[in-house]
Amino acid sequence: MESIRRLVLLALTGVFLITNLANAQDDQQGFISLDCGMPHNEPSYIEETTGLKFSSDSGFIRSGKSGRTNNEDPRLGMSNIKPYKYLRYFPEGILRNCYNLTVMQGTHYLIRAVFVYRNYDDLKQRPIFDLYLGPNFWITINLQEEFGSVDRFWRTDGKVEDIIHMPKSNFMDICLVKTGTTTPFISTLELRPLRDDTYTTKTGSLMLFNRWYFSNSESFVRYPDDVHDRLWDTYFSDELTQINTTTTVNTTNAFDLPQAIVSKASIPKDAGKSWSRRWSMQSTDDVHVYLHFAEIQALKPNDTREFSILWNEKTINHNYSPLEFMVDTVPIRTSTKCDDSCYLELVSTTSSSLPPSLNAMEVFGVLQLPQSETDENDVTAFKNIQAFYKLQKMSWQGDPCVPTQYMWTGLNCSNMLPSIPPRIISLDFSYYGLNGTISSDIQYLSQLQKLDLSNNNLTGRVPEFLAKLKLLTVINLSGNNLSGSIPETLRNMENNGLTLILRGGNKNLCLDPSCESEAGDGKNKKKWLVPILASAASVGITTAIILLIILFYRRKKRSSKDIRPSMVVNKRSFTYEEVTVMTNNFEKTLGEGGFGVVYYGNLINNEQVAVKVLSQSSAQGYKQFKAEVDLLLRVHHINLVSLVGYCDEGQHLVLIYEYMSNGNLKQHLSGECASSPLSWANRLRIAAETAQGLEYLHIGCKPPMIHRDIKSMNILLDEHFQAKLGDFGLSRSFPVGSETHVSTNVAGSPGYLDPEYYRTNWLTEKSDVFSFGVVLLEIITSQPVIDQTREKAHIGEWVGFKLTNGDIKSIVDPSLTGDYDSSSLWKALELAMSCVSPSSSGRPNMSQVANELQECLLSENSRKGGSQDVESKSSLALSTSFGPEQTPDAR
């Protein structure tokens, strides 16, 4: 009977396992599990221990060779299972080898790369190489160093790297980069989609340090127990005691923790002591910790488990009690690194009868990803061109433009600012052996300035769609077999500066504009050609001489005028009489500032302009006038107001700008404008565009510039509500080299002025960051910057006060009526509070600000299913102070 019972139990266990694995396979929606190096002709398979379905990686990468690990040893743990028997290695010598994966834009993914060496090459030389996530460095894979605790999963000769990342397009590259003499390789590459409301960051991605669940067992937990295939390691110590439950714990919070983890918890062995854990991490500016709690003991009526949560000896949560048989997650997000080590402590309150407990925790370092990927439309267009001509180059892997040292051959790109996606500005396919017609996808490279298709075997006509590329300065089509005539639109572009090179080859190409229509007339027209050309040449020479004489006298006349020698004059200069005419004798006033009155104007071509006239009583004078003109003459950015011209005549100093029909941001936030309130998406876009303009001043200008007067009044909006930063009269050059600041008299607007700059007279780019943070708070709250009737007069202090007291809803502008993505709003709020940190060292730079606002905007734009309500106070983990080391922490 006993033997029969065992057989029945074994059969039931087998049925349960098979059922679980079948269900697991159904739940793998969105999973990508690549067995790297597995031959392409081998079918996909189900890995026995996990139920995960693995496939060959051959369709996702164009380089590398298949290898196989040596020996099987039962002591080698997971490195013996099937996915780690094959590997792909890259001996070709090219520096960058990239997997190209199709993903869902805006979705968080857990990305896991596994490397199991096992002396596959018989060299006994463990490699070192770099791993890149798109164009950004991820980590150095060093198989010669000591393994971490997560790597114990593979026991020996193995490395695993986990990161949580949100792609900004529908394609993602993961690249192995050779850095020395050893050969890069990879065993598996795995992607798992996650919920977007779980592992959130202000900027960057979350690189896993470790996941622990607190149990005295040695079992790792992953899929199918964990539906997201997170890898959980155990941790226990002599100071801890394990408690268990057989009761099902409610795991319906966003993190979906496995029952195998939450059914266990740890408490201090000595009930009078605190629960503590200390660990060391590699240097990282940001550490994110997720603490997972559940009360798994049936509490008696007089039992209480209540404790404070301390992070690096600072209390971040008072009087916390785990929920009974229900998972609750407390995130800790900090903006400073752990100095020597990270330290978590749970301390019982005086009213608690039970010691603190913890079920599991996850620790991440934040990996900043400053470099934007190449514009997605450009990448798609280029890949279509590549497919059209059947071009295959082994080095064409990863992002086409960045990092610049790996830029694809045949391209040149604009890479001015890391936060702005690079654009393809030059395409050189000369001597590439191209056949067929000119690909129509070229027209979608909208920023193209130079196109060289010379010395190929191209046939057909010169396409008219090339004229759509308005920035083109050079088109070289020589050395081909093109035919037909040149489109008139391209001829017109030649008159406006386009260099069109066609001669050489192209025997059937009609180079004269009228040659096709004259072909029927034949010889009769040819006999008139020579005298006509001679007459035209004579007229041309005479015209040129007259123009030179006129130009000479104009320059002589201009040089006799009294123009200040320090003023740059490569923009249009107007007389005061012309200014009077264009403003219709200063008829319509647009506004008034520290410089003077701004009037509405119209140029002769009906171009609308804003005319700023220096008031004789203005505190600003010629110095500020000159500073603004000089700056705007040399900077050009879509989010900076353009200078149309100026007047510098005697006492009349006038600046003439492009007209911004929707006024300034302050008018819209204060309700001055009759239009409906700005939506959250529009507010985010305006903030992001302003940040890009400011980032350009800080990084794109040589030398860099500090604006010094960032405020909502100086953010102007055009007819499409595109934001442009204006009023550069107080701008100053920022030093380059070893200096870190400009020592200068304090200037700026009350409420927006950096307190550190005010105290020290030291001006840095972080002074602009503070002012921008104040503007961002205005955008979120629509509150005045200074209001003496509030609990706290300054907007930054007021928001901090409200957050500290848990009064969240009263912060957000009520006119938004809850119509916003709560995640993007709280990210923006956290960003604003970090910008207005009293210490400049606690503030982000403008590249980080611009990146984060782009992420917020992406989150808002991808919002599905209508409006989302602001989260309640109970769902927030708030800090009690907002200094340089701690920012509002809202989930």
> Which residues carry a binding-site annotation for ATP?
612
Task: Encode burial over 682-697: b for 16+ CB neighbours within 10 A, e otherwise.
Answer: bbbbbbbbbbbbbbbb
Q: Which residues contact 198 (CB under 8 A, 6 or more apart)?
A: 108, 254, 255
Residue 709 bears catalytic tag: yes
Let me know: does 321 contact 304? Beta carbons within 8 Å: yes
The closest alpha carbon to 494, from 455, 461, 453, 466, belongs to 466
Task: Give the dihedral sign, CA 628/633/635/640.
Answer: positive
Half-sphere exposure for 133 (CA within 13 Å, toward CB): 28
Tell me how far apart the alpha carbons of residues 195 and 329 are, in angstroms, rounded to a whole number: 14
The closest alpha carbon to 258, from 296, 195, 216, 213, belongs to 213
CA-based angle 469:471:475, to the nearest 5? 70
Task: Record the tokens describing residue 267, joined without a space.
Answer: 């408490």
Tell me how far apart the alpha carbons of residues 326 and 252 are, in angstroms, rounded to a whole number: 8
Let me know: does 238 contact 216? Beta carbons within 8 Å: no
Let me know: does 653 contact 811? Beta carbons within 8 Å: no
Tell me how far apart the alpha carbons of residues 375 and 447 are, in angstroms, rounded to a whole number: 10
Tell me how far apart the alpha carbons of residues 602 and 720 are, in angstroms, rounded to a whole number: 20
**Positions at the binding site:** 612
Q: Residue 73 pairs with which residues in a beta bridge?
A: none
Chain center to CA of 746: 33
Tell me how far apart the alpha carbons of residues 692 and 506 are, in angstroms, rounded to a whole number: 45
Task: Record the tokens describing residue 843, joined without a space.
Answer: 């503030």
Main-chain dihedrals φ then ψ at residue 697, nearest 5 degrees = -60, -40
AA letter at 665: L
How many Cβ atoms from other residues are within 10 Å of residue 121's Cβ?
18
Task: Record the tokens describing residue 427, joined without a space.
Answer: 């395409």
Q: Which of 452, 709, 768, 821 is catalytic?
A: 709
Place of tokens 């096709």: 516
Pairing of strands 53-56, 32-35: parallel
Q: Which residues contact 207 (CB under 8 A, 6 or more apart)?
A: 138, 139, 161, 162, 163, 284, 364, 365, 366, 367
From the number of C-beta atoms within 10 Å of its C-beta (0-12, 13-18, 19+), residue 14 rates as exposed
Task: Record the tokens describing residue 541, joined without a space.
Answer: 């020479």
Let me know: does 309 contact 299? Beta carbons within 8 Å: no
Q: Which positions are annotated as active-site residues?
A: 709
